[in-house]
Chain A
Amino acid sequence: MLLYLTRRIASSLFALLVISVIVFLLSHLSGSPVDALLPDDATQEQVDSFIREWGLDKPLWQQYLTFLGNALQGDFGTSLKWPGEDAMGFVLDRMPATLKLGGLAILISVVIALPLGIAAAVYKGSPIDSLAQVFALLGQSMPNFWLGIILIWVFSVWLGWLPTSGTGTFAHSILPAIAIAWFQVSALARLTRSSMLEVLDAEYIKLARVKGVSETQVIWKHALRNAAVVPLTYFGILAASILTGSVVIETVFSWPGMGWVAIEAIRGRDFPVVQAVIIAYAVIYMLSNLVVDLLYVVVDPRIRHG
């Protein structure tokens, strides 16, 4: 187990390194921060001093090595766009907002998708099943920014139940979380449904019924426990996809999380922050995958003893 963990962490670190190179190269290929951050009529002196100050005149590999050396010590440099802000610190400051949104989105996905998928499986072929399928397909075929804007208009403007955008109260996070979650609901519900169907067909489910176990118990205890393994596999992808979704949705709902930082930083060619935010994204993804792997062991005794 320990060996496994060590190997996982080592390979994650390798992946992070490659990611940092990719991002570094891409963001430096064109468009200098000079042009994003200085005004139209900036003079050559202004430009030169800016370039000197941020080491942009050095060769690319040197800039990268400098970056890497510092990054290994946790120092990603200072933001160009948000003067005086430590790049990683700035990203980490925004991380709770994204995690809060992502967490709520995952919660919503699970709370809606599991019962939906289970109901669809249990009542396969019934109207509930069809409804669940349509609901799921809707989520998978609506661009999330569009869904987000529709949600704003329906629930904030016409019904007046929830605030349109911004942060502050819990109510602020509901709409963006739904907008991110819906796509996941689809995927998760479909997965749950198919794996539930498989499990419900199993002999041990028949045996449970034969034992006189009530249908509720059969589904939620006997079937779900086994069916849950498959949706759990999906959690790694779920995490990635929720993070990706946050990039767009945070813009729509003006939610100041990492997605917002990422877009602003890339547009502003704020290299230190771009590096920091993408590394942060990757770390979250990898951690969540690690957690999923550990959760497996809890859910599925076969792995524990296998």
Chain B
Amino acid sequence: MTQSQDAPLLEVKDLRVEISTKAGSFFPVNGHSFSVRSGETLGIVGESGSGKSMTAMSLVRLLPKHAARITQGSIKLNGRELLSLSEAEMRKVRGSEIAMILQDPQTSLNPAFTAGQQISEALRLHSPGPRSTLRARAIDALRKVKVAAPEHRVDNYPSELSGGMRQRVVGAIAISCEPKIIIADEPTTSLDVTVQAQYLRLLSELQQETGMGIIFITHDFGIVANLCHKIVVMYFGRIVESGTVERIFARPAHPYTEALIGAVPKLRGHKGRLRTIEGQPPIPTEPLSGCPFAPRCEKADNRCFNELPPTVDADGDGEHLASCWRVLEQ
């Protein structure tokens, strides 16, 4: 490994994904650039429909066939360009170098196979070893994610496991091949608060042990604050603001970010009524000029409606970027 300690593990530049439909085409991922270093956690935040998951899937090149494709940009993992890999090479990257934890633990395990079978499948594909040891390694992985009595759980079908347990199994699958990056796509939305907290703690611990990078996709700014080092805020397929957690929480530059932070309940875990942002995102296939957030923005003026704002350095040190005319005005 010739790369320096500082070089990013994963570097995404100007990534664009196009979806074409009968009604026209649009870009759910539009000019994304961000990076993740080892041991670092990047949070991608946005409302549902903002293109977060599409971003995640494009990183492992698993976009819906026919409908969506990456039209430009670059994704470098350890300096290696992923977009130029063949499908077979890419398959070797998936699961072993970049692992993913999907949204819903209830459904992301295959009901027809035991937990052990599903863990060892990944192992068999990426770090082949004697068949006999697969089971032991699967149990090992379960132990790592703190599953009690892993020797028994390994032979259970998903239907026999609790929700939290399933999520741990999904985690075990992700870490079993010791990936460099784990993409966690809203991994905790369907869990109750206690289990959620345990699980997030577990992720951090694993990160400290292995030094892997984590991309954490969520709509919940509350989680981001506790877990992430850097944040990317997405709206309507665009990154509207990015920077370190501290900066963004302290000085949100984009009105959308501001609104999202405002939506976090003051007391964590308290089921209060959330403040939501009024209005709907625009229809993607319809022509759009100006800032897409303008119709919902309390501070929008004439220019916001007519001209797309450029991405600007909010703090002047390249660590905090935002696309908003207001930032420019300051």
Contacts and interface: CB of A to CB of B under 8 A. Distances in A.
- Interface magnitude class on chain A: 20 to 34
B99 A210 contact: yes
A203 B96 CA distance: 19
Binding site secondary structure of chain A: helix
A304 to B, nearest CB: 8
B159 interface: yes
Interface stretch (A49-57, A68-76, A211-219, A288-296): A211-219
A206 B110 contact: no
Contact of A301 (B93, B99, B157): B157
A213 B96 CA distance: 11
Given A202-B107, A301-B159, A305-B160, A212 B112 contact: no
Interface string A101-128: 0000000000000000000000001100
Nearest to B156: A305
Contacts, number: 78
Interface in A241-260: none
Interface in A200-236: 202-204, 206-214, 222, 225-226
A208 B173 CA distance: 10
Contacts of A211: 94-95, 99, 121-122, 125, 173
A93 interface: no
A207 B112 contact: no
Contacts of A206: 62, 102, 108
A207 B111 contact: no
The 5 A-B pairs of least Cβ separation, nearest first, read A212-B95, A212-B94, A203-B108, A211-B95, A210-B100
A207 B102 contact: yes
Contacts of B108: 203-204, 206-207
A210 B104 contact: no
Contacts of B104: 203
B69 interface: no
Nearest to B95: A212
B224 to A, nearest CB: 22
Contacts of A212: 91-96, 122, 125-126
Given A210-B102, A302-B111, A306-B159, 20 more contacts: A203-B102, A208-B110, A208-B121, A209-B62, A210-B60, A210-B62, A210-B94, A210-B99, A210-B100, A211-B173, A212-B91, A212-B92, A212-B93, A212-B95, A212-B126, A222-B113, A299-B112, A300-B111, A300-B112, A301-B159
Contacts of A225: 110, 112-113
B109 A207 contact: yes
Nearest to A227: B112
A225 B108 CA distance: 15
Nearest to B157: A301
Contacts of A226: 110-112
Contacts of A202: 107
B66 interface: yes
Nearest to A222: B110
Interface in A9-42: none
Interface string B99-131: 110111001111111000000011001100000
B170 interface: yes
Interface in A167-210: 202-204, 206-210
A203 B103 CA distance: 8
Interface string A251-278: 0000000000000000000000000000
A209 B99 CA distance: 10
A207 B157 contact: no
A208 B95 CA distance: 9
Nearest to B99: A210
Contacts of A126: 66
Interface in B166-203: 170, 173
A122 to B, nearest CB: 9
A211 B113 CA distance: 15
